[in-house]
Structure 1
Amino acid sequence: MTTHFTELAKRAAADGQVSTAELLALRQQGWGDGIITREEAEALFAVNDVLTDRDEEWCDFFVEAIGEYVLNGTEPRLQCSEAEAQWLIDRIDHDGVVENLVELETIVRIVERAQNTPVRLKDYVLAQVEREVLTGIGPTRCGGALCATHIASAECRIIRRVIFASGGHGPAAVSRFDAEMLFRLKDETLAEENAPEWDDLFLDGVSNYLKGFTLQNAQLDHDRALELQAFIADSKPNVARFMGRVAKEVPNAANHFGKVFGRKNAGPSFAERAEAGAEITDHEQEWLEKMIDADGEVDELERRLLARIIEEG
């Protein structure tokens, strides 16, 4: 199946475009055995590299197929390993930049769909978008036609999708890296007319980081997910061992088990834990002061951020 698929891909790439019939044949061959292999994924990248026109049908297929290989090519499903993330970055970044929007969309969709992705993959996407904003050149920039420091709607949408993605730092959890990137973009574009979405993106992202959601929603890494999957697949699981390991991995699990088995929950409620997580710590306050002082002034967006923090307690 793989050999036939690769030959089809080579023929489709020969003239720099993929016809409807060729795309249908690639779909049939690619999904015929239910998986996309490394060789097939490499063949699709080779096609995408030489296309002169990437229409919507091709983009949808490419994003879907590469995502299937990265997330479901190996167990556990919907997990992206360090090796897979590095392969994807190397394949896209072979000349130092993301060449086209379909490649950028491919990574964004993987981060969105995944239960877990390495930090380097998410940070790579954000670094590409930041570069586009500061240079005015890149897949979202129509060849640099826009002002070099103008944050466009397309970039706002990509940043929001990535920093709040389930496969990022955690579901709806903004990391310090994300928050500092938002501050850098704000400082560089204060005098520019940015997209209407930018203000809310900055405020939502930084306030999310300061609330400490990253600690509450931290994800399992790829190796730990593999270990847990193997444990669950054990044909003779030991219930006591299972309960002990879960309690060790998730300290609050005892409270949930207590509800199930009728024991009184003596721990703090979810609301109480959330309220505690939302408090701004001394460390976070010091970080915020440093970020606000970076450009020597308190600008309008920073005033609105401080007002939101005070309003939300």
Structure 2
Amino acid sequence: MKHIIEAKPASHRPKAPEPLPARMAPAVRMLDVDADSAGQRLDNFLMRHLKGVPKTHVYRIIRSGEVRINKGRATADTRVQAGDQVRLPPVRVSEKMAEKAERPAPAREFPLLLEDEHLIALDKPAGTAVHGGSGVSFGVIEQMRQARPQAKFLELVHRLDRETSGILLVAKKRSALTHLQDQFRERETGKTYLALVIGTWPANKKVIDTPLHKYLQPDGERRVRTTTVDDPDGMRSITLVKLRTSLPARPDQDLPTFSLLEVTIKTGRTHQIRVHLASQGHPIAGDEKYGDFDLNRRLPRHGLKRMFLHAWRLQFTHPASGERIELLAPLPPDLACFVPSIP
């Protein structure tokens, strides 16, 4: 539609706004999904193409229906397929964010637990995101791609929270990625974490089967809470808990009793372990979102400077050989020093 605007004398003519730089001007984009991207979740596919766009905004344009696959609406967990055409709405990126997105991640290798021609199993340190996103310029996968420029394919099989350390799988082939992701989706993997919680965990409490509801706070921060089975937005979530040992209270150091747990998740919901354990009155030590904030302020003085959650054991079927694999990542020094008597 054309708009006709009557010209005014120069003295009254408003100053024209400065045009956006070409790279910043928002416009609809159409992306063709190639074979290497086939099988990816839509949210992950978009994040690779919308560098510098906050993760919360990516999810917002998906929910609003502005993102289309072959002209149809889709959800964040829709899997794109080779030949699909994805419509991206106009997305404005600030100059600062665009420059940051164009800046390559620093090359970095991580401690390896297993590597062959199909996959990599690494021991992710705490404090490192698995990928770039909201407020994070880069993560494990971007750093590994920089460290291995000859690698034709490197993709995350699953995720770990930034604050969580431990076993993380990266696929080196598309066939390995889809095979492994199918195992995670069908609950054919075994994912066990070590978590230190506040208080004495009852030894007979072995299963938590409580739905979880994911939501965004007004500031865009992602949060999760327990809900009821009749909540249409609740997702069934199952956590198995085994008490490994108890640590007695240390009154002289103003520290309560702790329990070290082996926690196996049968569903992979966002913040599942953290919210499930906190809902039982036993939050994870050092958890800044769902924990005991007063205790968390004291813990660094005693050597615990982050959340005590570690992806300790992973069991899966090798995508090529069919062999059942079990990997173990020992507690890192920053956690082991807090529970020195634990093997």
Provide TM-score, normalisation by structure 1: 0.28
Structure with greater helix share of residues: 1
Structure with greater strand share of residues: 2
